[in-house]
Chain A
Amino acid sequence: MLEIDAVTRTYADITAVDSVSFAVPAGAMVGFVGGNGAGKTTTMRIIMGILAPDSGSVRWRGQQLNPAIRSRIGYMPEERGLYPKQPLLEQLVYLARLHGMSQRQARERITALLQRFGLGDRRADKVETLSLGNQQRGQIIAAVLGEPVALVLDEPFSGLDPAAVDQMSALLREYTAAGVPVLFSSHQLDLVDRLCDSIVVLHDGKVVANGTSAELRETGQMRYRLTVGDDAGWVRGHGGVRVLDLDGPSAVVEIEAADEAIAQQLLREALGRGSVQEFSPVRPSLSEIYRGVAA
């Protein structure tokens, strides 16, 4: 388990990260969400030891992160690239050796990874001659070549073509299935919703929401969509109900104090007035939750 505990970091007079705490449990995929400048990259750089926190700490299995453990964390920075003029295999072997692997170990592992990502026959090519998609596959390999015990990925899906998104998703699932904790940031909320076990929402350097997708949806609000045979304008006058949207026969309402009894009352009233075509609870999408907490 990777734990981030009350980490704070300031730049001049801006507090980029303000007492941020959350955990990435073993085998869990945690989505790190927030607008530009929310502090995601700074937090990830602090986890990787590239930036020092002003206060707070990062722990691995309860132990303060040290360079030896950090070298086993796979990292993909937001701004990433490889040496443009060096052959792919050669520089990946170099990176693996910096991770502490022997020359032979490194060659074997990277050759296998290159095969997996369909780059087997491009191994001797200089990176600058590869297509953008293949360069990105090379960067993915760079992130996982050190037999990582945890993964910290800053916008790993940004700029990937659909095929690479699928390869990347499959790869991340393999890691979580093997018990490796994965933290990744993304602006693609649908992807986060689909892949992640839990989500941490950062806003202005603070954690404003943290939990599983289901937990985040438990916002304490109860919303229903009601569609009746003719005009639904009458719902405005119904007690204990706030109308969020009204369009002819259809209305989206919020039940005050999430009182189920009021909802049932509303349904009876509607049935009493005529036909009811739809009466269903409305689950907020992740984007709506995100907008709610990060407003």
Chain B
Amino acid sequence: MSLETRPPGEASDDAAASQAGALAPDHRDWALVASREIRVKLTDRNFLVSTGITLVLIIGLLGLQAFIAARSGATEYSVVVSSAQGEAIVGQAEAVLQAQEDDASVSVTRVGDAAAGEALVTEGDADGALTQRQGGWTLLSDGGGPAELERALADAVRQAALTANAEAAGTSVPELLSGAELTTEDVSGEDAAEEVVQIVAGILFGVLFYMASLTYGISIANSVVEEKQSRIVEILAAVIPVRALLTGKVLGNTLLAFGQMALLVGVSLIGLSFTEFDRFLPMMTEPLLWYLPFFVAGFVALACMWAAAGALASRTEDLQSTTLPLTLTLVLVFVVALNLEGAARTAGSFVPVMSTILMPMRLLEGGVGWWEPVAALAATVVFGYLTILVGSTLYRRALMQTQGRVTLRQAMRLKG
């Protein structure tokens, strides 16, 4: 079998050299590395299963929420009356109920007398029977009617009596009630439900970043040590610059982390729009748009350090100790971020990496100047530039040391 090698001779050397130029790797070698990282991950069964389970959990939770809301949503009552007046009062009660719940309804059944109404109630065909006795109204029920219906009917009866009494006294209800109303005003400008949503969304953003940073950071370190441990690294380093190898790894894993986050957030938001919480979506738009660059910057700022931690190990077993400083840093950042308050919290939202957790939280709460996220992001980019310098230097120096763990001090002394 022929090997298609170049023919011998001086001329062939020239041809080979010129062909070397034609076949030589261009500057997309990092893209090949990145696409391999992604392909390997996307064909990893563990990864697919865990992502699938997370998605199913999110969809399941939101679906359950929508299902419960749909089931308890349509409130329907039925009331039996024996007069036109009774019918009017039930109509008024329905209006009262609908003020609280759009699709509430009260059906009215007109019967000849109170006894027929009572019969329907005892047979369970109606929630209550409204009858007029001794100048007042009585609601007959079988073992106590629904509290909401009772309240609405009481309201309607009171309203009807007030109107009638006012007319008899030559005045009107609005006149009687003028100045009798107490209006309340919340000067904090906060909506309790909105506040809960802000807190939950902020924590979720933080948790997502923390999880992604940890998972994909370890994934980068793992991928580096896998190449060291399997000894393929020297074959790779002979073909492409070590810099391209590192760039491809960081890029591939950043895309994976971002993609998974976008998938989870996207599915959650779409799911949310089917629930009663959809009214909170507009207020989340701006913080979410800020969260995306913070997520990427925060992740990339640590990515090269994860690669360095991988390079300092020479077997998978060493990873736990070489990645410990980074794992601890992330845990610390996460815990401290969630516990800061007041001015310290504001200051923390400018600290690189911590800002990925705190700034979106503050943006959700509102009252943040446009320059604040910009400044925090700029600080992260500068910090990221430094960690990339340090991380890639450590990576380059420790990569070829396949005999045991390399300490930070040793790596610093090694020649490139």
Q: What residues make up the interface of A, taking CB atoms closer than 8 Å to B?
A: 1, 11-12, 26-27, 45, 48-52, 60-61, 63, 67-73, 75-77, 79-86, 94-95, 97-101, 109, 112, 115-116, 142, 144, 146-149, 171, 174-175, 177-180
A83 and B226 contacting across the interface, CB-CB below 8 Å? yes
Report B-chain residues with C-beta under 8 Å of the C-beta of A26: 8-10, 12-13
Task: Give Cα A112–Cα B2 distance, bound, in whole angstroms.
Answer: 9
Report A-chain residues with C-beta under 8 Å of the C-beta of B1: 112, 115-116
A68 and B20 contacting across the interface, CB-CB below 8 Å? yes
B407 is an interface residue with CB less than 8 A from chain A: no
B234 and A72 contacting across the interface, CB-CB below 8 Å? no
Q: A82-B232, A178-B7 known; A77 and B238 CB under 8 Å?
A: yes
Report B-chain residues with C-beta under 8 Å of the C-beta of A149: 6, 13, 16-17, 20
Neighbour of B12 across the interface among A51, A99, A179, CB < 8 A: A179
Report B-chain residues with C-beta under 8 Å of the C-beta of A142: 235
A179 and B9 contacting across the interface, CB-CB below 8 Å? yes
Separation in Å of the A257 CB from the closest CB of chain B? 42
B230 and A99 contacting across the interface, CB-CB below 8 Å? no
Task: Give Cα A82–Cα B10 distance, bound, in whole angstroms.
Answer: 35
Report A-chain residues with C-beta under 8 Å of the C-beta of B402: 79
Report A-chain residues with C-beta under 8 Å of the C-beta of B416: 52
Report B-chain residues with C-beta under 8 Å of the C-beta of A49: 238
- Considering the complex, give the chain A residue whose CB is closest to the CB of B15: A149
A27 and B8 contacting across the interface, CB-CB below 8 Å? yes
B185 is an interface residue with CB less than 8 A from chain A: no
Separation in Å of the B240 CB from the closest CB of chain A? 5
B32 and A98 contacting across the interface, CB-CB below 8 Å? yes
Q: Can you list 8 residue pairs at the A/B interface with Cβ under 8 Å?
A: A11-B415, A45-B234, A50-B234, A50-B237, A100-B23, A149-B6, A178-B3, A178-B5
Neighbour of B24 across the interface among A50, A68, A82, A174, CB < 8 A: A68
Task: Give Cα A171–Cα B5 distance, bound, in whole angstroms.
Answer: 11
A147 and B17 contacting across the interface, CB-CB below 8 Å? no
Separation in Å of the A13 CB from the closest CB of chain B? 12
B23 and A94 contacting across the interface, CB-CB below 8 Å? no
Task: Give Cα A115–Cα B3 distance, bound, in whole angstroms.
Answer: 12
Task: Give Cα A256–Cα B234 distance, bound, in whole angstroms.
Answer: 50
* Range for the number of chain B residues in contact with chain A: 35 or more
B344 is an interface residue with CB less than 8 A from chain A: no
Task: Give Cα A72–Cα B13 distance, bound, in whole angstroms.
Answer: 12
Contact with A along B397-416 (1 / 0, CB 8 A): 00010100000000001011
Report B-chain residues with C-beta under 8 Å of the C-beta of A80: 231-232, 234-235
Report A-chain residues with C-beta under 8 Å of the C-beta of B240: 71, 98
Task: Give Cα A63–Cα B20 distance, bound, in whole angstroms.
Answer: 13
Report B-chain residues with C-beta under 8 Å of the C-beta of A76: 235
Task: Give Cα A115–Cα B261 distance, bound, in whole angstroms.
Answer: 43
B4 and A147 contacting across the interface, CB-CB below 8 Å? yes
A77 and B235 contacting across the interface, CB-CB below 8 Å? yes
Report B-chain residues with C-beta under 8 Å of the C-beta of A27: 8
Report A-chain residues with C-beta under 8 Å of the C-beta of B239: 70-71, 75, 95, 98-99, 146
Task: Give Cα A179–Cα B9 distance, bound, in whole angstroms.
Answer: 6
A179 and B235 contacting across the interface, CB-CB below 8 Å? no
B231 and A100 contacting across the interface, CB-CB below 8 Å? no
Separation in Å of the A31 CB from the closest CB of chain B? 20
Task: Give Cα A76–Cα B6 distance, bound, in whole angstroms.
Answer: 20
B29 is an interface residue with CB less than 8 A from chain A: yes
B25 is an interface residue with CB less than 8 A from chain A: yes
Neighbour of A72 across the interface among B14, B16, B237, CB < 8 A: B16
Q: A68-B21, A68-B24 known; A61 and B13 CB under 8 Å?
A: yes
B40 is an interface residue with CB less than 8 A from chain A: yes
B23 and A99 contacting across the interface, CB-CB below 8 Å? yes
Separation in Å of the A154 CB from the closest CB of chain B? 9
Neighbour of B6 across the interface among A68, A95, A180, CB < 8 A: A180
Separation in Å of the B26 CB from the closest CB of chain A? 7
A-B pairs, top 8 by smallest CB distance, nearest first, are A179-B8, A81-B231, A68-B24, A77-B234, A149-B16, A178-B5, A72-B20, A81-B230
In the complex, besides A142-B235, A177-B8, 17 extra interface pairs with C-beta distance below 8 angstroms are A1-B13, A60-B17, A68-B21, A71-B20, A71-B25, A73-B238, A75-B235, A75-B239, A95-B239, A99-B239, A100-B26, A146-B23, A146-B239, A148-B5, A175-B3, A178-B3, A178-B5
Q: A98-B32, A144-B3 known; A75 and B238 CB under 8 Å?
A: yes
B230 and A61 contacting across the interface, CB-CB below 8 Å? no
Task: Give Cα A81–Cα B226 distance, bound, in whole angstroms.
Answer: 11
B158 is an interface residue with CB less than 8 A from chain A: no
B199 is an interface residue with CB less than 8 A from chain A: no
A83 and B230 contacting across the interface, CB-CB below 8 Å? yes
Task: Give Cα A49–Cα B230 distance, bound, in whole angstroms.
Answer: 20
Task: Give Cα A101–Cα B23 distance, bound, in whole angstroms.
Answer: 6
Q: A50-B238, A98-B240, A146-B239 known; A77 and B231 CB under 8 Å?
A: yes
Task: Give Cα A72–Cα B282 distance, bound, in whole angstroms.
Answer: 57
B116 is an interface residue with CB less than 8 A from chain A: no
- Considering the complex, give the chain B residue whose CB is closest to the CB of A63: B17
Report A-chain residues with C-beta under 8 Å of the C-beta of B4: 109, 147
B23 and A72 contacting across the interface, CB-CB below 8 Å? yes
Task: Give Cα A149–Cα B40 distance, bound, in whole angstroms.
Answer: 31
Report A-chain residues with C-beta under 8 Å of the C-beta of B73: none
Report A-chain residues with C-beta under 8 Å of the C-beta of B3: 144, 171, 174-175, 178
Of the listed residues B6, B9, B10, the one surrounded by the most CB atoms of chain A closer than 10 A to its CB is: B6
Separation in Å of the B59 CB from the closest CB of chain A? 31
- Considering the complex, give the chain A residue whose CB is closest to the CB of B33: A98
Report B-chain residues with C-beta under 8 Å of the C-beta of A72: 16, 19-20, 23-24
Separation in Å of the A15 CB from the closest CB of chain B? 13
Neighbour of B17 across the interface among A11, A61, A97, A99, CB < 8 A: A61
A98 and B236 contacting across the interface, CB-CB below 8 Å? yes
- Considering the complex, give the chain B residue whose CB is closest to the CB of A48: B238
B52 is an interface residue with CB less than 8 A from chain A: no
B151 is an interface residue with CB less than 8 A from chain A: no
Report B-chain residues with C-beta under 8 Å of the C-beta of A48: 238
- Considering the complex, give the chain A residue whose CB is closest to the CB of B242: A50
Of the listed residues B3, B17, B415, the one surrounded by the most CB atoms of chain A closer than 10 A to its CB is: B3
Task: Give Cα A142–Cα B236 distance, bound, in whole angstroms.
Answer: 10
Task: Give Cα A73–Cα B13 distance, bound, in whole angstroms.
Answer: 12
